[in-house]
Amino acid sequence: MKKVIFLVDMQSFYASVEKADNARIQNKPVIVAGDPERRSGIILAACPLAKKFGVKTAEPLWEAKRKCPEAVIVRPRMKRYIEVSYQITQIVEQFTDLVEVFSIDEQFLDVTGSQRLFGEPLTIAKKIQTAVMEGTGVYSRIGIGPNKVLAKIACDAFAKKNRDGIFQLDHSNMKEQMWPLPIGKMFGVGSRMVHHLERLGIQKIGHLAQFPVHILKKRWGINGEVLWQTANGINYSPVTPHTHENQKAIGHQITLPRDYRTIEEIKVILLELSEEVAQRVRAKNYRGNTVSVGVRGADFENPTGFHRQVKLTSPTNFGMDIFKAAFKLFCAHWDRLPIRSAGITLSQLQPADSYQLNLFDFSMRKEELNQAMDVIRSKYGQTAIVRASSLTKSGQVFDRAEKIGGHYK
């Protein structure tokens, strides 16, 4: 039996949830955006009515208001969106047990074995659309393909523009439908890669599919072959329900409410990020070997910043260990210009149950201390115990405790 993979995508997810929860704004243009006073005034979602006015995701709120003055502006409610996303997962699991959450509003489904129960792929797709709409009030678009790549492209390039919100893309119509698309429409190709490919004369997906694969491999190694395979509709990755259980890295990034200019105030935010990362790593029962630091400058016209990493002498999940490595990296590469955002990541994760003991780092004492702090925070909240530096004007821990994914709950 041939594989049948779905990519189920929720239309304007955040805005759709807001409309489903509030009948008074059902027929109005709705925009979900952050707080401009805290420099998060970016459009996170716009309903189809707002998009008709030219409103686009990721543009500044002031620009969206200029295009659509009558729009209803809603602050994001991340906790609610996560609840609805989980509800949608439960709905689609009624059609198959092979469900892979790809993002908060996208899910891959393998319905190959479900056809005997629910019918042909198009029939199953319509049943899923109906079930999700009746259960949550959110409209879904579905791309159908023999693998994840073609299902994703079918959804993004075609289903989102179809009246029915469903499109099937496979090797029988791939050359006619997918190959004429601009290369930037292909899954896995970002803006930088578009530039590189166009310099090779590759303007469309079909050009890439017919390009000599050995040249691509010589230029980009295995990634070059993956690009060529994607353009030819080849992809062997299965739909994996537990794909997110084995993480390779855990990190935190923050856009600051103002430009941070001095080493003293930047030090505070790096310490807070290090503690947050460490707490998440411990919660997953991991230790990590590599610390990465990334910052972005405050000047949009002349972008500055850096991203660097360092390997530790031994794996850790302690905040101060991460901070010391991160701060040393930052001091070595900072250009002394104001920064707008910062992020810290701990990677090369491994189970925390077994690790090489070091006689000189007092791991057991640190582990007991961090376990105690984790218990306190778990019982009384993230701000029940904080470092004194977080009480200064530079600290953001109290504000971040009220957010999920950088947005208020």
AA identity, residue 41 = G
Which stretches within 155-241 are classed as H helix?
174-177, 191-199, 205-209, 213-220, 222-231
Which stretches within 246-299 are classed as H helix?
263-283
| E strand map for 277-338 | 286-297, 305-316
Q: Which of 76, 103, 73, 77 is nearest to 88 (CA)?
A: 103
Tell me the C-alpha distance between 347 and 38, whole Å: 29
Binding site annotation covers 9? yes
Dihedral sign from CA coordinates of 157, 41, 70, 27: positive
Cβ atoms of 104 and 87 closer than 8 Å: no
Cβ atoms of 45 and 29 closer than 8 Å: no
Element (H, E) at 148: helix 148-153
What is the three-state SS of 364-395? HHHHHHHHHHHHHHHHHCCCCCCCHHHHCCCC
End-to-end CA distance of the chain: 44
Cβ atoms of 169 and 187 closer than 8 Å: no
AA identity, residue 183 = I
Q: From the candidates 18, 100, 106, 275, which is the catalytic residue?
A: 106
Tell me whether residue 106 is one of the annotated catalytic residues.
Answer: yes
Residues noted as catalytic: 106
Binding site for Mg(2+): which residues? 9, 105
Binding site: which residues? 9, 105
